[in-house]
Amino acid sequence: MTVVDDVVWMDATAQAELVRAGEVSPVELVQSAIDRIERVDRELHSIIHRRFEKALDEARSPQLPDGPFRGVPFVVKDLYAPTAGDPMHNGMQALKDVGYVAPADNWLTARYRAAGFVFVGRTNTPELGLVPTTEPAAHGPTRNPWSREHTAGGSSGGSAAAVAAGLVPAGHASDGGGSIRIPASMCGLVGLKVSRGRITAGPDRDESGLSVNHVVTRSVRDCAAILDATYGPGPGDAAIAPPPRRPYVEEVGAEPGRLRIGLLAANPGGELHPDCEAAVRAAGKLLESLGHHVAEEHPPILDTARELSGSFGARWCVNARMGVLGAGELIGRELSEADVEPVTWAMASVGAQVSGVDLARGLAASARLTRALGLWWAEGWDLLVTPTLGTPPPRLGELIGTPEDPMRGVVRTAAVVPFTTHFNVSGQPAISLPLSWNAEGLPIGVQLVADYGREDLLLRIAAQLEAAQPWSDRRPPLGR
């Protein structure tokens, strides 16, 4: 049996243990990942910038850092996560056309390197990460390993597809409205959106906004151990989460105690697909069987559609405008409508019309939502469990616009993503777990949300659920 056959479905922790034990070398691990990418990714199109020769050179170098994941292959999302000397297109044809190359790592990608990870490539993402499907005009669609006709989600769809298909054991992801949890749900992975300020976004981006960075993984222990290697502020960070009481990896297997858990098994703003309702109700029963108190309760603010949209929409469109302006600065000219996709221009145009007062009102609505959510946890609830998504993974093409109707996909998105954005606004940690598959064989994730700063509790309960209902033996039909 080849090295690739031996390790392909091991998690990052197990692969690192093999390296430390001398049973496999970093070069062998990286070459195994490369071989599998070349064999499988032609069907997925998850990795758009391959850096195979660089990765092999780094794996064989005596300067490879002796971190906890020394020699383990890894992918980085091609969105605001520069890796020195590599292309960074942010899903944009305009940056692709000029061949933009990042001059340096940012602080997070430097931490991944210090942990010993070896970057084998950069993964596909929608333009500026604005939509929950990975189908950019610049690079083409990424397909779901569980069904090539369905989306892998977005905006971290490339990383999620790569991990779910066994190309690498873990991959960088980011989440400004659900972009870790959405593809984790659609691809059958663990996806933790960390608390605002848990991981630095420096030196170029701001921690106080909607987006955070972490990873998608196949195991809870990888999610915890990679967080241990990367959490913490950088100089001048605008938001800093409280430090953990002990290493996150020590929460895996720790007794969570009897928790008071609210269950939201309906979409307050519309319909909920029966598969998603069945998944969250099954999760509620599983939590009850583990000794927790589960009741159909949720923060009342989640029933207030106007407050929710007001806290997110204006900020999202302003971010789109900022993204277009930022790309123009990298290129050296202002971008026009012809330089971006129709939905990007539509959102950015709305953002350009948002006044300072409009944005201030959106931020005030965000503050009210955050306070209202925090009060529910302060009343004695430990966790909220919801479906991650409102529907199973849509087919490719359903969530993107057209030149004639650029917002067509956005309208459909409201039904798919009714549960994730609130917690980007509040800054609370939330995790999607692969607890269900439907009759079509498509993954259906379940989301658990904790109070601000309580990743420790999420990891404890996630590990308990993983032990009670393991998912590691599930394999997508693609490239087994």
CA torsion through residues 279, 281, 284, 285, sign:
negative
**Taking the CB of residue 368, how many other CB atoms lie within 10 A of it?**
16
User: Where do runs of H (alpha helix) occur along 379-472?
Assistant: 408-416, 421-426, 455-468
How far apart are the C-alpha atoms of 170 and 226, rounded to whole Å? 9
**Count H helices, E strands: the chain?**
16, 13
Scanning the structure block, which residue is given the tokens 């609830």?
Answer: 381
β-partners of residue 431 are: 192, 448
Which regions of 264-401 does DSSP assign to beta strands (E)? 293-295, 383-387
How far apart are the C-alpha atoms of 86 and 51, rounded to whole Å? 8
Catalytic residue of the set 32, 77, 159, 193: 77
185 is catalytic: no
Catalytic residue of the set 46, 147, 179, 436: 179
How far apart are the C-alpha atoms of 394 and 467, rounded to whole Å? 29
311 is catalytic: no
Helix (H, G, I), strand (E, B) or coil at 205: coil
In 3D space, the residue among 40, 41, 52, 2 whose CA is nearest the CA of residue 24 turns out to be: 2
Cβ–Cβ under 8 Å, residues 314 and 362: yes
How far apart are the C-alpha atoms of 167 and 164, rounded to whole Å? 8
Catalytic residue of the set 32, 46, 147, 155: 155
DSSP 119-132: EEEEE---GGG-SS
Structure tokens belonging to residue 51? 């850096």
Structure tokens belonging to residue 124? 């596909």
Cα distances from 476 to residues 60, 164, 269, 410, in angstroms, run 31, 7, 32, 28
Cβ–Cβ under 8 Å, residues 182 and 225: no
**Taking the CB of residue 227, how many other CB atoms lie within 10 A of it?**
23
179 is catalytic: yes
DSSP state, residue 194: P
What is the maximum alpha-carbon separation in the chain?
Answer: 64
How far apart are the C-alpha atoms of 269 and 413, rounded to whole Å? 13
Rg over CA atoms, the chain: 21
Catalytic residues: 77, 155, 179
